[in-house]
């Protein structure tokens, strides 16, 4: 009998509680791997959209043209959504001859901050599931292991002659639960840390853009009001 067949036989012969633990861990592992694929695609697309928008924004395109182009789209995401919300408030309030600089910038900045938070929340969505799988799976597997070993020793106490061959299968099936728990936990922890780092990097770029765009709006206001200190910005 091969090693794989031995493992399969141990799993099939395991007690009901150990089987439930193994099934739960396998489902958690499948769910976490599915989420990893989804998140990897989502964060990759978010970074590509960010790079494309930054290149276009700093290419010298008119802010009005960029805003008008985005207003015709329904799927504004990432940095495009931050820019659109901020410039929308700026354009809405900047209609007078002498716009009030501080309230105008504060309103635009708040609108961008809200959009930035919303976009980051989208990127962080369901990441807590990976953290939960990574932190709880080893303990769930350990519970199955303890239960299996306990049953093995209970069975051992009822036998007149105790040998390693009698107790070994029960201990082996119990240890499989721990192995499955680690198999579920380790990729989830690695993926969580990796995705969290990517989200943090994107969030920093969002924040930097918001600050740079606020400075750009301030410069436009000072040009419109004829402030002599505009050249110092």
Residues 6+ apart with CB under 8 A from 184: 25, 26, 28, 29, 32, 133, 137, 141
What is the value of pTM for the model shown?
A: 0.81
Overall average pLDDT of the 131-153 stretch: 86
pLDDT digits (tens, 9 = 90+) for 33-68: 999 999 999 999 999 999 999 999 998 888 889 989
Per-residue model confidence (pLDDT) at position 174: 75
Residues 6+ apart with CB under 8 A from 217: 86, 87, 90, 104, 105, 108
pLDDT digits (tens, 9 = 90+) for 107-130: 888 999 999 999 999 999 999 999
Please give the C-alpha separations between residue 47 and each of 5, 33, 61, 178, 203, in angstroms, as whole numbers: 45, 21, 21, 37, 11
Please give the C-alpha separations between residue 31 and each of 19, 24, 37, 186, in angstroms, as whole numbers: 18, 11, 10, 14
Percent above pLDDT 90 for the chain: 44
Percent above pLDDT 70 for the chain: 79
Give 90-99 contacts, CB < 8 A, sequence gap 24+: 90/217, 91/64, 91/67, 94/221, 94/224, 98/224, 98/225, 99/221, 99/224, 99/225
Per-residue model confidence (pLDDT) at position 40: 94
Which tokens sit at 125? 């969505």
């Amino acid at each position: 009998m091969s090693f794989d067949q031995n493992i399969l036989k141990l799993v099939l012969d395991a007690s009901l509680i150990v089987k439930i633990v193994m099934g739960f861990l396998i489902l958690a592992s499948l769910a976490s791997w599915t989420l990893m694929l989804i998140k990897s695609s989502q964060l990759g697309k978010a970074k590509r959209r960010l790079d494309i928008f930054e290149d276009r924004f700093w290419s010298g395109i008119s802010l009005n043209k960029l805003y008008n182009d985005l207003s015709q789209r329904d799927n504004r995401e990432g940095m495009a959504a931050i820019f659109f919300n901020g410039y929308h408030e700026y354009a809405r309030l900047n209609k007078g001859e002498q716009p009030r600089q501080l309230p105008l910038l504060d309103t635009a900045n708040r609108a961008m901050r809200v959009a930035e938070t919303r976009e980051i929340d989208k990127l962080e969505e369901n990441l807590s599931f990976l953290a939960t799988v990574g932190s709880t799976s080893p303990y769930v597997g350990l519970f199955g292991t303890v239960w299996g070993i306990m049953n093995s020793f209970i069975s051992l106490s009822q036998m007149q002659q105790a040998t390693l061959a009698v107790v070994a299968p029960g201990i082996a099936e119990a240890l499989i639960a721990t192995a499955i728990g680690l198999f579920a936990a380790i990729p989830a922890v690695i993926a969580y840390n990796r995705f969290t780092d990517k989200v943090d990097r994107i969030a920093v770029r969002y924040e930097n853009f918001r600050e740079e765009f606020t400075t750009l709006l301030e410069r436009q206001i000072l040009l419109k009001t004829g402030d002599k200190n505009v050249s110092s910005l």
